[in-house]
Amino acid sequence: MFRTIFILSALAAGMLSSGALAAPTRDNGPKPVRAAADGGILVAQDGNLDIYYDARGNRVIVDADTGKVIAIQPPQTRLDRRALRREMRLRELGRAPADDDRYYLDDPEDMARFRRKQLEEEGRVIPPPADEYDPNSDNSVDAFPPSSQDDGSYDNNYPDAPAPAEPGTVKRQPLDEASIDPMQPAAPTDQAALPPREGGKTTVDPSLSLGARQDVAALQVLLDRGGASPGVIDGRFGSNVDKALAAYNEITGSNLRSTDAVGIQAALAQSGGDAFANYTITPEDAAGPYVASIPEDYSQKAQLDRMGYTSVTEALAERFHMDENYLKSLNPDANFNRPGTIIKVANFGRLVSTPVARIVADKSKKEVFAYDAAGKLVAAYPATIGSSDTPSPSGIHAVSRVALDPNYTYNPSINFKQGQNDKILTIPPGPNGPVGSVWIALDKPTYGIHGTPDPSKIGKTESHGCVRLTNWDARELAKLVSPGVTVEFVD
C-alpha cells in the first residue's frame, strides 16, 4: 500500500515537471524587433503599438506594453503621397523605379532639379540660394570673389586708349551752328572716346524716346538734305514731315511716299549715305560758353551778357538739326561734357546753296517757300507766322537787311507787352534770344524773318507777327537772300 502511494506520487511529480518545461517563459527584457524586407518594421505584438511625431517630423514607434521606443523614422525614409504617386505612375507605365532621374512638370522640386541639370550640361551654373551662399543676402564682395585677373583697382581704363593729352588752353567763343558737317563713322577699334560708365553719365528720361522711330528720323534727314526742312529731326511723324515731304517731291520731281522704305534708303544712299553718323565731341564743344539758365522775364534777360546755349546737348542738337531730347535718347550712355566722347547724330548733309529770288510765306500752311530766279522751288521751311492778336503783314514786301547773331530791342509801345515790362530793353544776342541767332529784316518796320529759342515748337505755336523759323533754317535762308528779295504773304 505504502509502495503504491509512493509510485503514484513520483508519477505525478514527473508529469508536473514535464508540463513546466513545456510552458512558455515570461521575459521582462525587450522584445526582438527586425526590419522587414521592404523597409517596414516587424514587431512581436500584433498592432500593440503607439505612434508619435516629434518636433522634427520624425515618426516615433513605441511599444504600448513596455513604453520603450522601438524605432524612429525620419521624414525622408517614409513613403509620402508624392513618392507613392510616382511609384504608381511608374508601375502603370511599366518603367523602372524612380532613381533613373525622371522629372514631373507638376513637381516644383523636380523642375528645379531638371533645370539645374540642363544648365550644368550646358556649362552654366545656377547661383545658389542666398541662405546657402550669402546668408546676409547683401551681394557682398565675400560672396562673389574677384576674378583672377582683377587687381582690385576697379578702374575703367580702356586697354587700347592712348595716354591723355596735356590740357591746353581752350578759346571760348560762340559755336557756329551750321558750320560743322557730321563726321564719318569712326572705326570700331577707336576706344579713346567711348562713353564713360561712371561719373558724368547723362541722365535720360525713358519717356524721351517713346514714339520716336529711327526710320522716321531717316526720312526727316533725307528731306532736310533735299532742301525741304522738317524742322527738328525727332523721329516722329507730324504736319511738319507731311509738308516737307510734299515740298521734297516738288523740289526733286520725285513721288516719294513716307511708307516707301526701299525708296527712302535708296535716296539716302544717293544723297550722302546713312542717315546717322558718329561725331566726336571737341574741347570747344565742352567749353561753351554756356549760361546756367534763360529767364522768362525780358528785364532779367537784358541783364545777361549773352543769350547763349544752356548745355552741350542744346548746342549740338541745333548744330545737327535735332530735337535735344531725341539726341539724348539716341545716346543714353554718353557723357556730353567730356571731349572725345563719340555720339550718334543726324547726318543732314550740305546746306542749300542756290540763291533765292523770291520768298512766299504761306500763313495757312505755316510754311515758307524759297524760289530761285527761274521760279523753281529750292527750299521750304516749316514756320510760325503771326497770330490772331499780332497778325503778320499782308501783301508783298522785301528784304531790307540781314543780321546774324543780333541784339533784340524790346519796345512795348510798338510791339507787344511782356509781363510787367513797360520800358525799352535791349536783350543781348544769342541763339536763345527772342529772335534766335538770325534776323532778316523786312521793309515793313519791326517785322522780319528770324530764328527761335524753341525749335521744337516751330509750326505748332504762334508768333508776335513775324515769321519764325528754326535757327538753322533761318541761318540757311539768310545766306541765300540779299536786300531786295521779295517776300509775299499769302493766306
The C-alpha atoms of residue 391 and residue 406 are separated, in whole angstroms, by 23
Among 321, 397, 464, 466, the active-site one is 466
The C-alpha atoms of residue 427 and residue 358 are separated, in whole angstroms, by 31
Q: Which residue has the cell 528720361?
A: 205
DSSP state at residue 475? H
Q: Which residue has the cell 513545456?
A: 22
How many CA atoms lie less than 13 Å away from 408 in the CB half-sphere? 32
Other residues' Cβ atoms within 10 Å of the Cβ of residue 260: 14
The C-alpha atoms of residue 313 and residue 311 are separated, in whole angstroms, by 5
Is 397 annotated in the active site?
A: no
Length of the chain equals 491
Which of 391, 335, 338 shows the shortest CA–CA distance to 363? 391
Would you call 181 helix, strand, or coil by DSSP?
A: coil
Extract the C-alpha cell encoding 417: 507787352
How many CA atoms lie less than 13 Å away from 279 in the CB half-sphere? 23
**Roughly how many angstroms between the first and final C-alpha of the chain, as a whole number?**
165
Among 321, 397, 450, 464, the active-site one is 450
DSSP collapsed to 3 states, 277-339: EEEECCHHHHHCCCCCCCCCCHHHHCCCCCCCCCCHHHHHHHHCCECHHHHHHHCCCCCCCCC
- Give, for 242, the enclosing helix (H) or strand (E): helix 239-252
Extract the C-alpha cell encoding 338: 567730356
Residue 385 sits at φ, ψ, to 5 deg, of: -125, 100
Is 450 annotated in the active site?
A: yes
Extract the C-alpha cell encoding 481: 537772300
Assess contact for 32 and 43: CB atoms under 8 A: no
Other residues' Cβ atoms within 10 Å of the Cβ of residue 427: 22
Extract the C-alpha cell encoding 312: 552741350
Extract the C-alpha cell encoding 324: 535735344
The C-alpha atoms of residue 415 and residue 447 are separated, in whole angstroms, by 10
Assess contact for 229 and 242: CB atoms under 8 A: no
Which of 217, 209, 244, 245 shows the shortest CA–CA distance to 233? 217
Residues belonging to the active site:
450, 466
